[in-house]
Amino acid sequence: MKTKLTEEVSIVLCGAAGLGIQTVEELLTKVLKKSGYHFFATKEYMSRVRGGLNSTEIRVSKKPVKAFVERIDLFFVFSPGAVSRHKHRLSKNTLIIGEHENIMLDLGKYDSDMFEIPITEEAQKLGNKVYSNSIAVGIITGLLDIELTLLDELLSQRFAMKGSEVITKNSEAVRIGYKYAKDLEESGRLIIDIQPANQPTDRVLLGGTEAVAIGALAGGCNNVYAYPMSPSTGVWTFLSQHQKEFDLIVEQVEDEIAAVNAVIGSWFVGGRGMVTTAGGGFALMEEGISLAGITETPIVIHLAQRPGPATGLPTRTAQEDLNLALYSGHGEFPRIIFAPGTIEDAFYLTQKAFNLADKYQIPVFILTDQYLLNSFYDMPQLDIQSLKIESHTIETNENYKRYEFTASGISPRGIPGGKGLVAVDSHEHDEEGHITEDLEFMRKKMVEKRFKKKDSFIKETLPPEFIGDNDFTYLIISWGSTYHIIAEALKRIKNKQIAFLHFKQIFPLSQKTKDYLTQAKKIIVIENNFTSQFSVLLASTFGMKHSESILKYTGAPFSVEEIQERILQLLGVDSVEKQ
């Protein structure tokens, strides 16, 4: 088999946890950026510290790429079982690289080519099989003809804390891999001739986890409380690593109940706090969310979705917690829910969440998922300079009333330390914050006051993003992390009758949505859940009766090829006019 790739290459590396697959991803994405390539990377991993099988996908391209694909062009096998694990992604065009004993157990079942390289043996000659990851980096960079000096610089930075010997060993490992790459090219079985893009050197490498964390900083976040829970843990881990630089308080508390109450307390005294958690952890926070609702205390909640119920699949992806965020907390009170569709969204929406929580004194959610948080790609620099931290606290006077009735429903929010008394209570209360049993007047007025704020913030609702021709016939609808996957699939289909409507704010919904729903003759809603939660929300809000759903609830993300195929199946091949 002879394969020459000139546009892009999809590389997958798979091996047991502890072999350094993530190190390969880290080094490669950095060197690809320095070399001028566009790339996308994402990972999947089992819920264990050692053993099992983890893998990462890296797409390298001359054009921007930002979505997961099934196709594998180059497959690195570090452990037995990797081939059978990814069998559905292999084809006759896939070249498998690894050791005979790790591949041949399964390879006979699949029509793929193999190029045997004793990666583990070479690594052990250097003193440790962990050097396998640097050999793989060398092979990939060799196939792309990336300068070794760039890798040497990155290796020095990456392993600086481990000393010169480790740096030297990794440098030797890279050169071993580089030589094997040249042997592979000479064999003619795989030639990668992808020219780097002529792109600005100030592009940045950013992942979803870092984007949420940096967005929080840009929103003025100065305290974060959490209990470890995948896939949300990376956000507060990142912030804890930088807490001295940004004067942050980052605490791992005893449980999620303590976390939510600590953040409510921080806002009460003038802080700007966030909790970061997953569905199981958030379930414990619901009483606290209700407390924020009645005390009208701002709070920002990063809810990273994973498959449930219960522990479910803690390291996989899902969009199953929309209803959890939408209906969380006993009683009725307003809220805002964002669902970033891109890594850029994860930054800007998290920043915006802090300003809106402060302004309207409500809970604001950022719904992400494992796929978005663990994905990376290159992008232009974020526009940080234009963003503002909006604070709406006041200094109290002797006549201060924490829950004063106003035309907008938003009461002046003072913090302790002024001349007035700042009284809050989890009971229903009067304007001064004292408990009340006045059912006919005060209770009624307070409920209406809290919901009156919705009339104001609904004017700031983000409209859905529309992609396509205005005279569309078919409408694809999605929310959250499926954005780039669907956009690329539709770009491949090239059908002007199909339009795409994507939501990055899922509550409250923009009233502009109704016009799109009315025009469409057929609607397809795409979600990573079983019950099509977002289509139910659309139906209850706008009376939409959608025609079809494309649902996935295995714990794996959609792929571009999968979405392309399923859209064509639902619309019928004859209904698609390929341009």
What tens digit of pLDDT does each residue of 443-477 get?
999 999 999 999 999 999 999 999 999 999 999 99
pLDDT tens by residue, 530-549: 999 999 999 999 998 877 99
Q: Are residues 66 and 121 in the same domain?
A: yes
- Measure the CA angle with vertex 203, ends 202 and 204; round to 5°: 115
Residue 324 lies in a domain: yes
Round the average pLDDT of the chain to a whole number and report it: 93
pLDDT digits (tens, 9 = 90+) for 267-322: 999 999 999 999 999 999 999 999 999 999 999 999 999 999 999 999 999 999 99
pLDDT at 576 exceeding the cut of 60: no
* In a domain? residue 198: no
The residue out of 422, 437, 459 marking a domain boundary is: 459
Same-domain check for residues 449 and 486: no
Q: Tell me, what's the pLDDT at 579?
A: 39
Q: Residue 53: what are its φ and ψ, rounded to 5°?
A: -135, 125
Same domain, 371 and 397: no
The verdict on 228 and 306 lying in the same domain is: yes
Q: What confidence tens digit (pLDDT) does each residue in 107-138 have? A: 565 667 888 899 989 999 999 888 998 999 99
The reply to whether 144 and 180 lie within a common domain is: yes
Tally of domains within the chain: 4
Q: Average pLDDT for residues 405-414, to the nearest whole number?
A: 97
User: Considering only CA atoms, which of 307, 345, 279, 318 is closest in space to residue 557?
Assistant: 318
Question: What average pLDDT does this structure show over 319-327?
Answer: 98
Q: Is residue 279 part of a domain?
A: yes
C-alpha 432/C-alpha 453 separation (Å) is: 19
- Does one domain contain both 438 and 523? no
At 47 the pLDDT is: 84
Same-domain check for residues 496 and 446: no
| Secondary structure of residue 366 in the 3-state scheme | strand
User: What local confidence, expressed as pLDDT, does residue 13 receive?
Assistant: 94
Using alpha carbons, list the distances in angstroms from residue 99 to 105, 117, 135, 142, 144.
11, 6, 13, 19, 22
The secondary structure of residue 382, as a DSSP letter, is P
Are residues 293 and 239 located together in one domain of the fold? Answer: yes
In a domain, 200, yes or no: no
Residue 264, pLDDT score: 98
Identify the CATH number of the domain in which residue 354 sits: 3.40.50.970
Residue 317 domain flag: yes
Percent of residues, the chain, with pLDDT higher than 70: 97
Q: Residue 575 has what pLDDT?
A: 47
Nearest to 236 by CA among 273, 286, 185, 188: 273
pLDDT in tens, 424-452: 999 999 999 999 999 999 999 999 999 99
Domain range enclosing 493: 465-575
What local confidence, expressed as pLDDT, does residue 108 receive? 60
Residues 6 or more apart in contact with residue 51 via CB below 8 angstroms: 16, 17, 18
Domain boundary among the residues 441, 459, 477 is at: 459
- Answer yes or no: is 388 within a domain: no
Of 411, 428, 459, the position where a domain reaches its end is: 459
* CATH number for the domain that contains residue 84: 3.40.920.10
Is the pLDDT at 359 greater than 90, yes or no? Answer: yes
Same domain, 410 and 494: no
Q: Tell me the CATH number at 537.
A: 3.40.50.920
**Same domain as 449, residue 355:** no
Q: Predicted confidence band at 17 (pLDDT cuts at 50, 70, 90)? A: confident
Residues 330 and 256 in one domain: yes
How confident is the model at residue 474, as a pLDDT? 96
Q: Is the same domain home to 37 and 51?
A: yes
